[in-house]
Amino acid sequence: MRKGTVILLVLLITSNLLWLVNLVYTRIDHAVTLTYHDASYQRNQRMLQKLVVVANNNLVGDTLTRAEGILAEQSNATKPFIKEGCLIAGGLCLKFDQNELIVAVIIEP
């Protein structure tokens, strides 16, 4: 009788500890997921703000220097920069041709 009670008590404590570990793991997993969602939301919000600036100023077909100037003055955080044939600004890539005219707007890879 005594031995059976001890075994049941150990199993009960082990079961409760496993449930506690599962609960803690789930909370941490939800916190990490929420952090990634927040970062994704912030990135999309910055990209949308830049896209509105591009649309309002009709930058497609415009010169690279004008587009860079407009995006720089509207920027809250990072300054736009040129990389591999693109003017990178807030998650957007404004592609330009050899004449330095903006020909397309795509999402930065």
Domain map (residue ranges) of the chain: 2-107
Question: What is the three-class DSSP state of 61?
Answer: coil
d(CA 7, CA 48): 61
Tokens of 90: 């807030």
User: Per-residue confidence at 9, pLDDT binned at 50, 70, 90?
Assistant: very high
pLDDT over 90, % of the chain: 40
pLDDT reported for residue 109: 62
Instruction: Tell me what the mean pLDDT of segment 38-65 comes to.
Output: 88
**Taking a C-beta distance cutoff of 8 angstroms, is the pair 39, 90 a contact?**
no
d(CA 62, CA 86): 14
pLDDT over 70, % of the chain: 97
Per residue in 21-41, pLDDT (tens digit) is 999 999 999 999 999 999 999
